[in-house]
Amino acid sequence: MCLRHPLTSVQTLQRSSQRNPSVGGVKRKWGSKTAISRSGISSPDEFVKSKIRANICLSICNTESFALNDKQDILNRRNAVCGKLNNLLCHFWKCDPFVKSKLLRNFCCDFYGSCLWDLSHSSIADLTVAWRKGLRRLWGLPYRTHSVLLAPLCGMLPLESELMCRSVNFMCKCLGSCNEVVSFAARNGIFVQRMTSPIGRNAQWCCDNVGVSLYNIHSISRDLIMQCVYSSLPDWVVTSVNMIYELLLVRWNRMCLQLLNSYELDCIVEAVCTG
């Protein structure tokens, strides 16, 4: 369904109120000191503000927005990420993966607009697959490297958790907004409409993954998500990540180990990554 933009509706209401003082079932004489209204609104400005609030709420968290689809936006972001990763690997091919990892954080992690995505959308899996492939290429790891090893090796959150963190920050800012329209729309979507609202579904999804009540959504932070992700990792993941990291340091001459040659190092790295 295509919803009208709130500003367009505001302009329409303002023009209509100038032409016809009885717009929306409100009868009043604008020049008089008193006004009679069926809705109990005592001034034209309050009438317009109420319509603005209703229209914005309709646009943000109406149940009919359930049919909206984020697939095209997510796929466009996946293509953009692939392009940025390819450019990084092509222009900085002489740098070691430790430098490339820092460049990745600074120039390839701008997922603008991701806080509005439906986090349970199936297309997010395509984005995370492309992201993990890029990390394997960046670190020079085998293409069959276990996915669970990549985020700890980079010192980052998995992409799914990163998107969840950004979505939670967005929702908390909306709930605490000084703008009463934004705050009302967020509270209505999260605590009233819940699963019938896009923002409500995201809030419930984030709370379920972290193990927090919906009414304590403000307690979710990046540190808490990081703690939940890394505490759930098996013991062998931590050991394997430490071993791979040290072997890569030796491969790129940041550490010295004369017992192994380059071929033996590559064999050990492949065995640990895929074993």
Question: Tens place of pLDDT for every residue, the chain, 275 residues?
Answer: 344 444 444 444 445 445 544 444 444 434 443 443 444 444 556 655 555 555 555 445 444 444 567 899 999 999 999 999 999 999 999 999 999 999 999 999 989 889 999 998 999 999 999 999 999 999 999 999 999 999 999 999 999 999 999 999 999 999 999 999 999 999 999 999 888 888 999 999 999 999 999 999 999 999 999 999 999 999 999 999 999 999 999 999 888 888 888 899 999 999 999 98
**Rg value, the chain, Cα:** 26
Nearest to 190 by CA among 206, 179, 210: 206
Give, in order, the Cα–Cα distances in Å from 86 to each of 53, 89, 91, 130, 160: 45, 5, 9, 11, 21
Q: What's the whole-model pTM score? A: 0.74
Residue 274 pLDDT: 93
Residue 148 pLDDT: 95
What is the distance between the alpha carbons of residues 74 and 274, in angstroms, rounded to a whole number? 29
Residue 270 pLDDT: 94
Q: Which residues, at least 6 apart from 265, have a Cβ–Cβ distance to it below 8 Å?
A: 247, 250, 251
Residue 49 pLDDT: 55
Residue 32 pLDDT: 40
Nearest to 205 by CA among 114, 116, 119: 119
Are 175 and 218 spatial neighbours (Cβ–Cβ below 8 Å)? yes
DSSP string, 13-80: HHHHHHH-TTGGG----TTSS----TT---SHHHHHHHHHHHHHHHHHH-GGGGG---HHHHHHHHHH
